[in-house]
Structure 1
């Protein structure tokens, strides 16, 4: 056996554990879900009937758009909080200790507990409403409203510490000499954040956004507890169709559709980030 073939075989053997793990635990289930979506309950052989039912039912389509809304809105809210919070944590040791302790608290709170906290505080007749009532202030409807505000608040509350953990770690890896040089040349804190910290921490920001979006997109407990009675996200429909009615082909189709929409949103995100980076480079 030639040297090149030996190197190739050695490389394949080194990759086999990782690649085999991904294929066994991720690749095969995805193939099963995709193939299962082209079946129909009570029939044999491939068919498009399940997909036709999915796209032809307005309840499911409204659920799809509501799922995307519950994936995108908490991610944007969390990002708007996590970016400045991560930057503040890099300012000095005092802010790092203060915010580094506070932002981690929601990490240890289960999602269903976070949902109940929002329910108890923000629901009509909840703690916030009772505190504001003597002042003549009426709380807007935030729980089970049409826009899912309560669910967005709870999802954001859970997502902010997770996103901050990733972004702050990326910012902490930036050399202090680079930041000091920028400030020496007259850059203020906002300019340093926009022109240096964010571009250099972009891989961490991207990872935080993607993971947070996927987690919010597939959330079940919080939308069930705090979301409106209609529309219901596809994650809730998947539970009712699968475990309560046993319609597994529809569950497979919903899961495939959610995954496809998630990929489309992520590609759009990459396109936007790439365009913004090119524009900054051109202006620089």
Structure 2
């Protein structure tokens, strides 16, 4: 059998790798490079002014913190709901059909429609307020509040089906013999979920968490419609600075900073997961 040549391997990888380089790599490099450019035709070709403005302006720093909050909170809330929902879908055929039909409904609803649904339901004077007020129940402020609760609810409502789709697929790939053996040995459903399903479905859970986090970090429509007037996430500042003021170097700097934050959070997540897996492996070896 002849060995595979390096050129053959490169030619096989060229369509996928070339696509990523052209449509993702090159635009990303351009964004980073242009974040160090000046504003205007006569501006310097290399300057740190956009970064100095970004990192020294309180409005943008608050926007960065708010962007991270609006990414972490919906991801955590969606995960807390998607995990048990995915496990329930694997319990039996009836629950699989019921929850499988139920969780798919938000998938077909556009994000802006979901934001308007939350606005109509939970805003002051909305449907929920009109129903509960005669009963003496007053809802807290959930739309345009300082914590962005309305935006978190709308993002989570859209993210839960997406996460459930990925995680339930990973759980469905677990051998039924393994689960049956655990039940035969007396393991409860909670023990099976915690000790078998979650560890074996870890790749799917990781993919769901990372994709949801990145999507929420750059969300524009939902926080712009449901979030507070201050602080605004960097995604909204990118729109106003670019299309309203034409300050594109600052926009490129904001995009680069969001990308750096996303990479940092992802590396931290992988480090935590790796540490937990190593600790669990050591416990099992000790036992």
Partner of 1:232: 232
Shift of 1:41: 0.5
Q: Which ranges in structure 2 are unaligned for 5 or more consecutive residues? A: none
2:7 is aligned to: 9
Partners of 1:52 and 1:4 lie apart in 2 by: 57
Q: 2: distance between equivalents of 1:98 and 1:18?
A: 38
When residues 4 and 153 of structure 1 are mapped into structure 2, their CA distance, relative to the original with a 3 A threshold, is same
Aligned residue number for residue 122 of structure 1: 122
TM-score when normalising by structure 1: 0.97
How far does residue 16 in structure 1 lie from its aligned partner after superposition? 1.3
Q: In structure 1, what is the equivalent of residue 243 of structure 2?
A: 243
C-alpha distance in 1 between matches for 2:272 and 2:4: 43
Quote the residue 2:105 is aligned against: 105
Aligned to 2:263: 263
Q: Post-superposition shift, 1:283?
A: 2.0
**2:5 alignment partner, SS class:** helix
- Equivalent residue, structure 2, for 1:32: 30
- Matched residue, 1:202: 202
Assess, with a 3 A threshold, how the Cα gap between structure 1 residues 241 and 137 changes in structure 2: closer, same or farther: same
The alignment of Structure 1 onto Structure 2 pairs a total of residues equal to 282
Distance between the aligned counterparts of 1:275 and 1:16, measured in 2? 35
> Cα RMSD between the aligned structures?
1.2
Structure-2 separation of matches of 1:264 and 1:6: 37
Question: In structure 2, the residue corresponding to 1:186 is in which secondary structure?
Answer: coil
Q: Measure the CA separation in 1 of the matches of 2:3 and 2:63.
A: 52
Unaligned segments of structure 1, at least 5 residues: none
Match status 1:184 vs 2:197: no
Aligned to 2:77: 77
Moved more, 95-104 or 272-281: 272-281
Structure 1: distance between partners of 2:235 and 2:217:
8
Q: Following the alignment from structure 2 to structure 1, what is the Cα–Cα distance between the partners of residues 242 and 2? A: 51
TM-score (structure 2 length as normaliser): 0.96
Matches of 1:221 and 1:13 in 2, distance apart? 41
Cα distance in 2, alignment partners of residues 10 and 4 from structure 1: 12
Deviations 1:189-229 (A, max 9, x none): 11100110001000000000000001111000000000000
Q: Distance in 2 between matches of 1:193 and 1:128?
A: 35
Partners in 2 of 1:190 and 1:65 — Cα distance? Answer: 36
